Chains A and B, each alone.
Chain A
Amino acid sequence: MHPESYIRPPLIHGRKDYLQITEDICRPVEAKPSRSWWVAFSISAAAMLWGFFAIGWTIWFGIGTWGLNRTVGWGWDITNFVWWIGIGHAGTLISAILLLFRQKWRTGVNRAAEAMTIFAVICAALFPVFHMGRVWMAFFNLPYPNTRGPLWPNFNSPLMWDVFAISTYFSVSVMFWYTGLIPDLATIRDRAQKRWAKIFYGILSFGWVGSAKHWQRHEALSLVLAGISTPLVLSVHTIVSFDFSTSVIPGWHTTIFPPYFVAGAIFSGFAMVLTLMLITRKVLKLEEYITIDHIESMNKIIVLTGSIVGLAYLTELFIAWYSQNPYEQYAFANRALGPYWWSYWSMMMCNVISPQLFWVRRLRRNVWFTFFMSIVINVGMWFERFVIIVTSIHRDYVPSNWSMYKPTWVEISFFIGSLGLFFTAFLVFAKLMPVIAMAEIKHILKTSGEEHKRNQLEKLRQQHAVAVTANH
Chain B
Amino acid sequence: MKEKKYWKGLEELKEDPDFIAQRDREFAEELPVEELWGSGAWKQPQSRRDFLRLMGFGVSAAAMAASCRIPVKHAIPYVIKPEEVIPGKALWYASTFVDGNDFCPVLVKVRDGRPIKIEPSTTANISAQSPYRFLFGGTSARAQASVLSLYDLTRPHFPTVQGNEVRKENQADVEQELKSKLQQISARGGNIVLVTGTILSPSTQALIRDFLKAFPGSRHVIYDAVSHAALAAAHEKWFGVYAAPGYHFEQAEVIVSLGSDFLGTWLSPTEFARQYVQNRKVSPERTQMSRHYQFEACLSLTGANADERAVLKPSQEAVAAVALYRLLRGEPAPSINARADALLSRAAADLKAHRGRSLVVSGSNDQAVQEIVAAINLMLGNYGSTLRMDLYMRAHQGNDAPVETLLRELKSGAVHALIFYGANPVYDHPRGVEFAEAIPKVELTLSLNDRIDETTVLCTYHFPDHHYLESWNDCSPYHGLYLMTQPVIWPLFRTRQAQETLMMLCGINGDFYSYMQRYWEQNIFPLQSSFTSFQAFWDNAVKEGAVEVRTTAAVRMPEAIDVSGATEAVMAAAQQANGFELYLYEKVGSGNGRYANNPWLMELPDPISKVVWDNYLCISPKLAKELQVEMDVAEQRSDLVSVTLGETTLTLPVFIQPGQEDHTVAVALGYGRTHAGRSGNNVGVNVYPWVTFNGQHRQYHASGVVISKTGKKHELAMTQTHFSFEGRDVIQETTLNRYRNNPHAGKEKKEHLKEIWAQTLYPEHPLPAIRWGMSIDLNSCIGCGACAVSCQAENNVPVVGKTEVRRIHEMTWLRIDRYYSFPSEKGFVTKEEDYDEIVDYQQVQVVFQPMLCQHCDNAPCENVCPVNATNHSSEGLNQMAYNRCIGTRYCANNCPYKVRRFNWLDYTTADVFPWNEPWKIPTLNIEDLQMHDAVTRMVLNPDVTVRTRGVMEKCSFCVQRLQEAKLEAKMQGRPLRDGDARTACQTACPTDAIQFGNLREEGSRVKKDHEDARAYYVLAELNTQPGIAYLKKVRNTTEENISAEQAQPAHG
Contacts and interface: CB of A to CB of B under 8 A. Distances in A.
Interface in B707-723: 720-722
Interface stretch (B127-135, B229-237, B917-925): B917-925
B898 interface: yes
Given A133-B949, A398-B898, A62 B904 contact: yes
Contacts of A145: none
Interface in A20-67: 60-65, 67
B893 A73 contact: yes
A370 B867 CA distance: 44
B634 A339 contact: yes
Interface string B888-900: 1110111011100
A200 to B, nearest CB: 25
Contacts of A401: 720, 722, 898
Given A133-B950, A397-B1019, A64 B886 contact: no
Nearest to B817: A400
A206 interface: no
A398 B817 contact: yes
Contact of B903 (A67, A132, A133): A133
B866 A65 contact: no
A395 B833 CA distance: 14
A339 B886 CA distance: 32
Interface stretch (A96-104, A151-159, A175-183, A222-230): A151-159
A232 to B, nearest CB: 21
A404 B904 contact: no
Contacts of B906: 61-62
A385 interface: no
Interface string B829-870: 000000000000000000001010000000010011111100
A317 B633 CA distance: 29
Given A132-B886, A248-B1022, A397 B896 contact: yes
A134 B952 CA distance: 10
Secondary structure at the B interface, as helix, strand, loop or mixed, is loop
Nearest to A66: B904
A5 B270 CA distance: 92
A63 B904 contact: yes
A265 to B, nearest CB: 21
Interface string A168-203: 000000000000000000000000000000000000
Interface residues of A, number: 58
Given A65-B924, A325-B1051, A409-B923, A330 B886 contact: no
A65 B885 contact: no
Contacts of B804: 64
B200 interface: no
B809 A133 contact: no
Contacts of B865: 154, 157, 159
Interface in B745-794: 762
B887 A70 contact: no
A74 B889 contact: yes
Interface in B5-45: none
Give the bracket for the number of chain B residues in contact with chain A: 35 or more
B866 to A, nearest CB: 4
B884 interface: yes
A388 to B, nearest CB: 12
B729 to A, nearest CB: 9
B863 A398 contact: no
B901 interface: yes
B924 A133 contact: no
B898 A62 contact: no
Contacts of A152: 868
A137 B849 CA distance: 37
Given A324-B1051, A330-B726, A141 B916 contact: no
B613 to A, nearest CB: 17
A157 B722 contact: no
Contact of A247 (B860, B884, B950): B860
A69 B807 contact: yes
Contacts of A246: 863-864
Contact of A157 (B724, B890, B1019): B890
A70 B885 contact: no
A382 B888 CA distance: 21
Nearest to A392: B893
Contacts of A327: 728, 1050
Contacts of A157: 863-866, 890
Contact of A158 (B725, B819, B864): B864
Nearest to A397: B896
A453 interface: no
Q: Most B CB atoms within 10 A — which of A64, A65, A68? A: A64
Contact of B892 (A73, A140, A397): A73
Q: Most B CB atoms within 10 A — which of A73, A138, A153, A393? A: A73
B851 to A, nearest CB: 7
Contact of A403 (B721, B815, B920): B721
A399 B730 contact: yes
B888 A248 contact: no
Contacts of A159: 864-866, 888, 890
A126 interface: no
Contacts of B720: 400-401
A397 B730 contact: yes
B1048 interface: yes
Interface in A349-398: 393, 395-398
B951 interface: yes
A248 B952 CA distance: 19
Nearest to B868: A154
B894 A71 contact: no
A9 interface: no
Nearest to A323: B1051
B746 to A, nearest CB: 16
A163 B886 contact: no
B809 A64 contact: yes
A133 B898 contact: no
B860 A248 contact: yes
A323 B1050 CA distance: 11
A80 B949 CA distance: 24
A246 B898 CA distance: 17
B810 interface: yes
A106 interface: no
A249 B898 contact: no
Given A133-B951, A399-B726, A402-B721, A70 B901 contact: yes
Contacts of B818: 400
B902 interface: yes
A131 interface: yes
A434 B152 CA distance: 69
A70 B923 contact: no
Nearest to B1023: A248
A73 B901 CA distance: 10
B14 to A, nearest CB: 59
Given A64-B924, A74-B890, A398-B730, 10 more contacts: A62-B906, A73-B893, A74-B893, A132-B886, A132-B950, A138-B886, A140-B866, A248-B1022, A396-B896, A402-B721
22 contacts: A61-B916, A63-B902, A64-B804, A64-B918, A65-B905, A67-B807, A70-B808, A70-B809, A73-B893, A133-B888, A151-B884, A159-B866, A246-B864, A324-B1051, A325-B1052, A326-B727, A327-B1050, A396-B898, A398-B728, A398-B898, A399-B819, A408-B923
Interface of B: 634-635, 720-722, 724-728, 730, 762, 804, 807-810, 815, 817-819, 849, 851, 860, 863-868, 884-890, 892-894, 896-898, 901-906, 916, 918, 920-921, 923-924, 948-952, 1018-1019, 1022, 1024, 1048, 1050-1052
Closest 8 pairs (CB-CB, A-B)? A133-B887, A133-B950, A64-B904, A69-B808, A73-B889, A64-B905, A400-B817, A159-B866
